[in-house]
Amino acid sequence: MSDGQRTQVVKPIFIVGTGRCGSTAFHQVLGVHPQTMWLSGFAEEFPTHPEWNRTAVAAMNNPVLGRIFRKRIKPGENYGFWYTHAYGFAEPGRDLVADDVTPRVRRQLHSVFQRMLARRRNRILIKLTGWSRIGFLNEIFPDAKFIHIVRDGRAVASSYLHINEWQWRGWYGPYSWRYGPLSGEDQAAWEASGKSFAALAGLQWRIHTRAIDTARANVDPDRFLQVRYEDFCDQPLESCRRVVEFAELERSPKFERHVSGTRITDMSNRYRKDLSPAQQGLLTRLLRDDLLKYGYDVSEDAGR
């Protein structure tokens, strides 16, 4: 495909999750599939030159170049790209919906992704965390495929608590983080916890997973897939085969060999050691209904 040639964006694949949910590992594994085109550091640094990103990612199909550069050229969220092409997309104070789409942004995203696609890597694969932006993206790409990576909310909350304030703005409190004010229900729960940061981290997981559930109601069921991170770690090949079929990607023996040879360690039960019993109990009580909905064990002995 020449620099001037464009192809239509067909069934782009969007991975969504809360953050700290294992979506990075999942994104990087799926990005090895030879059909996927994703945002590399070139898209972040040179957002107005999508053809440079295309060249870099397409080079990963070359066995020699792939081995040399795979640690430097890899899938990422790379929000610098979004700052240029979809204003406000990177850090909205609430989830983005269909009514937030402007004709200009619609044109810009179609144009830049068309310029990014390659002859072989012809399916856009994007990862987003925090707000899902499903309603926004579904309005622009009505044939998009959405994959929700969900992880035990207690593990996610623990992970938030063990990173610094640059990575988790919750340390500033809900008045200064990037997710808008708490609802009355969540504000009452946070205050009842003594304004516990563990509770706030759990609330963030709940806010974002509930927002995903709300947004998915407007997406055809055959375009939405939920994958538990714990299941992906336990059975990566089976999980990836399911995803490939859902996303309508070609079956690739090379991709399957890569998945089979990739070791993915599930750290979801680490919160049992990293949080005190009181903090664990607080999170289990706070998130109980949502954890049960996703099939997580809320008994006291779970994971021990």
pLDDT digits 0-9 by tens, 213-239: 999 999 999 999 999 999 999 999 999
Q: Is 68 domain-assigned?
A: yes
Structural domain for 233, as ranges: 13-293
Which of 1-10, 34-43, 123-132 shows the lowest per-residue confidence on average (mean pLDDT)?
Answer: 1-10
pLDDT of res. 303: 46
49-78 average pLDDT score: 90
172: in domain: yes
DSSP class per residue in the chain: --TT------S-EEEEE-SSSSHHHHHHHHTTSTTEE---HHHHH-TT-HHHHHHHHHGGGSHHHHHHHTTTS-----HHHHHHHSTT-SS-SS---GGG--HHHHHHHHHHHHHH--SS--EEEEEEESS--HHHHHHH-TT-EEEEEE--HHHHHHHHHTS-TTT-GGGG-TTTSSS-PPPHHHHHHHHHTTS-HHHHHHHHHHHHHHHHHHHHTTS-GGGEEEEEHHHHHHSHHHHHHHHHHHHTPPP-HHHHHHHHT------GGGHHHHS-HHHHHHHHHHHHHHHHHTT---STTTT-
In a domain, 4, yes or no: no
- CATH code at 197? 3.40.50.300
- In tens, the pLDDT along 92-118 reads 999 999 999 999 999 999 999 999 999
Q: Is the pTM of this model over 0.85?
A: yes
Q: How many independent structural domains does the chain possess?
A: 1
pLDDT of residue 6: 65
- Mean pLDDT (whole number) for 53-67: 89
Q: Is residue 162 part of a domain?
A: yes
7 within domain boundaries? no
